[in-house]
Amino acid sequence: MTCQRTEHPPVTEHPPVTEHPPVTEQPDTYAELTRRNLGIISRHQQQALRRATVLVAGCGSIGGAAVQPLARLGVQRFLLAEPGSYELNNLNRQQAGVQDIGRNKAEVAADHVLEINPEAEVRVFADGVTADCVDELTSPARSSSTGST
């Protein structure tokens, strides 16, 4: 089995991997989105967030709660891995509503990121972290540790 990619928006059947291409808007959208971060984080830190690729393995309670603040801080690239779908009993503690019942949690998190920043790049791995895609999920970390981008 290999990790397959399909395009967003989500369909009735959730594919193992979905690419969320960036939406091009105004050239200064990122600057405006993150303008009020200055004073909390430095320009250097803001640029590091902009260049970062963040893997969220598990988009339920903790991972799901982390995705939106990371998008608001200016992370531009997300890898979201989660095999589970929302159930009614998740709604009291996770980032979802009744309209999300039955949807893959990573797909919902991807929608939230793109609602905040339509220029973000989001890839969804709807089978979660598997032996087939672990290298693809962790390659950005290996690249950054060797000094590559």
- Domain count of the fold of the chain: 1
Domain-embedded: residue 45: yes
Do the Cβ atoms of 10 and 103 come closer than 8 Å?
yes
Q: Of the candidates 124, 92, 98, which has an alpha carbon nearest to the alpha carbon of residue 111?
A: 124
Q: Average model confidence (pLDDT) for the chain?
A: 87
Residue numbers of the domain that contains 82: 31-144
Domain-embedded: residue 131: yes
pLDDT > 70? residue 102:
yes
Domain-embedded: residue 15: no
| Global pTM exceeds 0.75 | yes
pLDDT digits (tens, 9 = 90+) for 49-90: 999 999 999 999 999 999 999 999 999 999 999 999 999 999
